[in-house]
């Protein structure tokens, strides 16, 4: 109401109201500021934004760092590997759950972190709320509530399944990605080099999905994002829907990977070509 009075009484003023989560802002500025506000989501630095500092070659050279440490501003400006780890660890320990714990009066910090860790190990995979509930010893409704809070506080991004009522398509389980790779790795305390890891594909998929989301948002391109999968295991990592068209993207870290012929998809969505994104051409889609 205070912002409404300011804007109405002093028309020439521009007010920037910021917050680390959407909780209080969405609850308090919705109705009073209808027609008077524009909501801007500030993601961690995008590859497109970093072009003002690095050229394309330099961005590709630093891909491993982005996959491991992410692109929070303090992480980007950190001058050493240890400093990056310190920054991420501090964010995870001190700030990550602050809004959830304070606003929702939740006491089970350990169970919340256990839930985040389980999600961190299931990047790119469909998530079962029942299985999560069983593993963290919470009821399904509580797990669903926590996941919703993770979304609202910009920790997790939910990717829903795409379907046009094709019977074999799975339409129930969703996938979850971390808004930032560094936070994902900070939750499970894994900062080792890519050559020593077995989750490079998952890291690259998380990175690309979020960079694509940043690119679309920052350039005011309005599309719905999904994944596609059938019961017999055929899958497409990312589906974009907008302006009556579909874009299908397979995400593979290895430049040697090839697009699979997914007949059940191509025969159903005949106007859609499946594109392949890998570690050599990914910048073409996000800058």
Local confidence band at 158 (pLDDT 50, 70, 90 cut-offs): very high
Q: pLDDT at position 252, please?
A: 96
Q: Is the dihedral of CA 178, 183, 186, 190 positive or negative?
A: positive
What is residue 222's predicted lDDT score, i.e. its pLDDT?
Answer: 93
Please give the domain boundaries of the chain with CATH numbers for all domains. 1-40 (no CATH), 47-285 (1.10.10.10)
Pairing of strands 174-178, 126-127: antiparallel
pLDDT attached to residue 159:
96
**pLDDT digit string, tens, across residues 247-276:** 999 999 999 999 888 888 888 888 899 999
Nearest alpha-carbon partner for 45 in 69, 19, 71: 71
- pLDDT score recorded for residue 21: 59
Q: How many CB atoms lie within 10 A of CB 204?
A: 25
Full-model pTM: 0.90
Per-residue model confidence as pLDDT tens digits over 167-199: 555 557 899 999 999 999 999 999 999 999 999
Q: Residue 266: what pLDDT?
A: 87
Rounded to whole angstroms, the Cα distance separating 39 from 56 reads 30
How far is it, in rounded angstroms, from Cα 178 to Cα 180? Answer: 5
pLDDT band at 25 (very low <50, low <70, confident <90, very high): low
By C-alpha distance, which of 145, 116, 155 is closest to 20? Answer: 155
Contact 183, 154 (CB under 8 A): no
18 φ/ψ angles, rounded to the nearest 5 degrees:
-115, 155
**In the block, residue with structure tokens 């996941």:** 147
pLDDT for position 15? 87
- 46 vs 207: CA distance, rounded Å: 10
């Amino acid at each position: 109401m205070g912002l409404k009075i300011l804007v109405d009484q002093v028309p020439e003023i521009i007010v920037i109201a910021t917050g680390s989560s959407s909780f209080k802002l969405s609850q308090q500025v919705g109705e009073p500021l209808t027609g008077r506000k524009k909501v801007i989501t500030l993601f961690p630095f995008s590859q497109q934004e970093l072009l003002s500092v690095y050229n394309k070659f330099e961005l590709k050279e630093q891909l491993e760092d982005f996959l491991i440490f992410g692109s929070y501003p303090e992480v980007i400006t950190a001058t050493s590997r240890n400093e990056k780890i310190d920054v991420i660890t501090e964010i995870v320990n001190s700030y990550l759950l602050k809004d959830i714990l304070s606003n929702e009066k939740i006491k089970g910090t350990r169970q919340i972190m256990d839930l985040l860790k389980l999600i961190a190990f299931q990047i790119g995979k469909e998530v079962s709320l029942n299985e999560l509930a069983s593993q963290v010893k919470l009821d399904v409704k509580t797990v669903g509530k926590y996941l919703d809070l993770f979304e609202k506080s910009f920790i997790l991004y939910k990717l829903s399944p795409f379907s046009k009522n094709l019977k074999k398509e799975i339409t129930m389980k969703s996938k979850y990605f971390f808004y930032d790779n560094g936070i994902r790795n900070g939750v499970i305390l894994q900062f080792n080099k890519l050559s020593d890891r077995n989750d490079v594909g998952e890291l690259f998929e998380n990175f690309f999905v979020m960079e694509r989301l940043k690119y679309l948002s920052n350039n005011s391109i309005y599309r719905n994002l999904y994944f596609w999968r059938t019961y017999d295991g055929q899958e497409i990592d990312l589906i974009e829907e907008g302006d009556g068209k579909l874009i299908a993207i397979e995400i593979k870290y290895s430049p040697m990977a090839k697009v699979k012929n997914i007949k059940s998809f191509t025969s159903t969505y005949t106007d859609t070509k499946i594109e392949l994104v890998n570690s050599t051409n990914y910048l073409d889609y996000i800058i």
